[in-house]
Chain A
Amino acid sequence: MNESANKSNGNPEREIVIVIRKMHKWYGQFHVLKDINLNVERGEKIVICGPSGSGKSTLIRCINRLEEHQDGEIIVDGTELTNDLKNVELVRREVGMVFQHFNLFPHLTVLDNCTLAPIWVRKEPREEAEATAMEYLERVKIPDQANKFPGQLSGGQQQRVAIARSLCMKPRVMLFDEPTSALDPEMIKEVLDVMIELAKGGMTMLCVTHEMGFAKTVADRVIFMDEGEIIEQNKPHEFFDNPQHDRTKLFLSQILNH
């Protein structure tokens, strides 16, 4: 049908949504991402882990161009990310993102947070947008908070609203940047449960997270990054039981013994 389907020989199971090829990024002189190559299939769940400062956030922020890469190519759903603003907006509509610090709009109610982009970007009628929003708020189990402001919710509730807000744009890919690291321990589970539900529904997901339990249950592939490079990637049980690289072993021993 479309181009990316052809590439995968007409087999819809293996349709590739994100292609990253020989991608490099610098912050000034600092070479933060080095020769990144990554293909993501439709419906695939990828967990990215690695030490702090290894470039995990930068990598997934390049996928919706919150950061620009300087070399190589990134193609999302057949659209290459360049300086073309129209293409960037196109990609951002298809790619949802959840941030560590939620970044809800504090001046809008939960419902308005969820309908803002559908109304202004997808030009949906308000009623339709609100109906969709309520549907997703129900799915993240907080429909009763719809008319409150973000400041009145707990951290876990805010993060679930943030997930619902992204889903309201009906994205084909969801990016998560440490969605649970700013949360108190008792709230982590409620957010992870929502993410697991989402994964079961077939969403394509890239998650930066250190929740290894989540990685084991959900991930199709775990990627380990260090100093701006992808060091190792494997199926979760291979990755955890039989790490190939010394740096991976060191990292795993640090987070698992802790």
Chain B
Amino acid sequence: MAEVAVSPQRNAISRLWNDKESRSVIIQIITISLVFAFLAYIIHNAVVNLQAIGKGFSYNFLWQPSSYDINQHLIEYNSRSTHFRAMLVGILNTILVAICGIVLASIVGFVLGVLRLSKNWIVNRLAYCYIEYVRNVPVLLHILLVHGLIVHAFPVPRQAISIGDLTFMTNRGIFSPKPLYEPLFLVVVVLFLLGLAFMWWFRRYAQKVQDETGQHYPVFWIGLGAIVGVPLVSFFLLGSPITWDVPELKGFNFTGGMVVRPEFIALLLALSLYTAAFIGEIVRAGILGVYYGQTEASYALGINRGRSLSLVVIPQALRIIVPPLTSQYLNLMKNSSLAVAIGYMDIVATIGGISLNQTGREMECMIIVLALYLVMSLIISMIMNWYNKRIKLVER
């Protein structure tokens, strides 16, 4: 009774503040206002300061010639290209090392995680030692170490380690023959694509047959035959319609062929082997996190070890594994910025490094670099979140 009498006496503000829903709206409004006020303040501050030292804010420099060289470029580039093009080269190099790194780290990490759970003492200890060593040393040291190993332990081009006189391992990178395609090679490519299409269809067909008759096709081997076997045979039947541009030693270095640069190898190996150690632990935790009764129940039904892992344990482990795995992918992508230490030309080294120094456009360049990392992070997060939702368990 007394309560009822008291409430109407409170003023409007206190009533709004004490209502659960309106309070949360008020808090959100205040937070957003504060964030915008802060942003407005620092942007204003930057503009004022830039004016004070006589600099404007402009991206016009992007269209000027960059006048520096980049040794690894996936698209056409030379020193007369623009800063914009240098930036694209940098982005592609970052994406290349990030994607290769994520794939390699996932494979090695998964294997490590499973080995860590092996009942074989030696295997288990080896995986343990590897993980403990690798994850307790800063990744920058790994990068420098691998780079140093390649540059100092590998021979100079004149004494290259030759693999069949075709591929050469040197301290300037791995040189291998570059394929020059003849028109007939198109047939092989078409057969390969047909093989992929066939496989896409065949997998569904095999599933259907399995559903209807219970018969299991050796899908893997048939797929291997269609995708690899048939194109390979046709390649030789057509008289090997590829000529190879074999690298040749001219003076102090190789010319011709293809080269994988030591900076790329060092960065890729260091980043992925480092991240793999963390992924290994995540995978191990994921598998251990699935209650052992699940494995026992599948054994009791006559399901064998491998199938029990792939049909019962891994699908459940993935929901434990995926969220921390996402952070590892993000870390790997961002750690690739350490490329600058060994001169791998990624975003930071191109637009955030040489371009910045040459043009003095710190603000503009750093905004580009930040924005790029942000976009790439968001893309990785989006893909992983989508995947995570797909494998989520239905609970009560």
Contacts and interface: CB of A to CB of B under 8 A. Distances in A.
A117 interface: yes
B148 interface: no
Interface stretch (A69-77, A122-130, A200-208, A244-252): A122-130
B210 A117 contact: no
Given A92-B301, A151-B394, A116 B311 contact: yes
A151 B393 contact: yes
Interface stretch (B133-141, B229-237, B292-300): B292-300
Looking at B291, B301, B311, which has the most chain A CB atoms within 10 Å of its CB? B301
Interface stretch (A39-47, A95-103, A187-195): A95-103
A199 B296 CA distance: 24
Nearest to A151: B395
A30 interface: no
Contact of A106 (B296, B302, B307, B393): B393
Contact of B212 (A66, A127, A151): A127
A149 interface: yes
Given A107-B315, A151-B395, A117 B296 contact: no
A165 B212 CA distance: 20
A107 B310 CA distance: 13
B213 to A, nearest CB: 5
Interface of A is mostly: mixed
A120 B311 contact: yes
Interface in A77-122: 85, 89, 92-93, 95-97, 99, 101, 103-107, 116-117, 119-122
B359 interface: no
Interface in B333-389: none
Contacts, number: 90
Looking at B216, B300, B311, which has the most chain A CB atoms within 10 Å of its CB? B300
Nearest to A150: B394
B210 A119 contact: yes
A58 interface: no
Interface in B160-219: 210-216
A159 interface: no
Contacts of B294: 103, 105
A28 to B, nearest CB: 16
B381 to A, nearest CB: 23
B82 interface: no
B293 A166 contact: no
Interface string A119-146: 1111111111100000000000000000
Looking at A101, A106, A122, A129, which has the most chain B CB atoms within 10 Å of its CB? A106
A96 B303 CA distance: 12
B296 A125 contact: no
A64 interface: yes
A119 B300 contact: no
Nearest to A121: B302
Minimum-distance CB pairs A-B, first 6: A126-B211, A103-B297, A117-B301, A93-B302, A149-B394, A97-B300
